Amino acid sequence: MIEDLKKELGKTLNEFKERLKEIRSHKLSLGFLENLEISLYHSKYPLKALCLISQIDPLTFRLEPYDPNSLKEIEIALLERKMGISVIKEKNSLLVKFPPLTEEAKKEIIKSLNNLKEEIRVKGRITRDEFLKRLKADKEEGKISEDYFYKTKENFDKEIDKFNQEVENIFKQKEKEILS
């Protein structure tokens, strides 16, 4: 049961890491743009499914659509996002430039980062509580001993403490990246 809890908490940590890629920092990574959803052909697609994305410098990207006819729609969709970017149309590609972050923008990003951290910690606690309910049910049905119940519950608490510490470490790393 402890291994199942570890696995579930690991999935939640991976979700946290993936969602952090979508949060802008001082230096942008390809992950920031790759998963932006763009409406095209009456459906939504991640940008990476529509374009070849290359990074020119920390704040500049080149997008080369697989379908050159979609260039204009992608440009419009990016500008509608109101990310403060400038989009320069070249022959068959778009040059996307992000402005440097202002202090005010950094504070807003940190605020949303804090909210995300709390959301992930709550998910971890909910996961632990679900496992705890199953453990209590097993104890009440006589499937496990009282000693086993308390030892396992103690292990659950240790795992959630490790999880929370890992979330905090990842948060601090991203916060440092944003503020630098």
pLDDT in tens, 83-129: 778 888 888 888 888 888 888 888 888 998 999 999 999 999 999 99
Residues 71 and 110 in one domain: no
Q: Are residues 66 and 50 in the same domain?
A: yes
The domain of 84 spans: 30-97
Q: Which residues contact 16 (CB under 8 A, 6 or more apart)?
A: 116, 117, 120, 167, 170
77, 37 in Cβ contact below 8 A? no
Rg, C-alpha atoms of the chain = 22
Of 26, 70, 23, residue with least CA distance to 78:
70
Look up the CATH number of the domain holding residue 85: 3.30.1360.40
CB atoms closer than 10 angstroms to residue 115:
10
pLDDT tens digits for range 143-155 = 888 899 899 999 9
% pLDDT > 90, the chain = 33
Residue 160: burial class (beta carbons within 10 Å; 0-12, 13-18, 19+):
buried
Q: Are 41 and 93 members of one domain? A: yes
pTM of this structure? 0.70
- Per-residue confidence (pLDDT) for residue 96, from 0 to 100: 86
End-of-domain residue from the set 53, 74, 97: 97
β-strand 94-97 against 86-89: which pairing, if any? Answer: antiparallel
Residues 14, 38 within the same domain: no
Same domain, 92 and 106: no
If asked whether residues 12 and 34 sit together in one domain, one would say: no
Helices (H) and strands (E) counted in the chain, each on its own, are 6, 6
**Residue keyed to tokens 């590609």:** 93
CATH classification at residue 163: 1.10.132.20
Average pLDDT over residues 28-38: 73
Residues present in the chain in total: 180
109 CB neighbour count, 10 Å cutoff: 18
**What pLDDT sits at residue 25?**
65
Out of 80, 97, 114, a domain closes at: 97
What is the number of structural domains in the chain? 2
Q: Are residues 79 and 114 in the same domain?
A: no
Mean pLDDT of 153-169: 94
Could you say which of 45, 70, 97 is where a domain stops?
Answer: 97
Q: Are residues 42 and 58 in the same domain?
A: yes
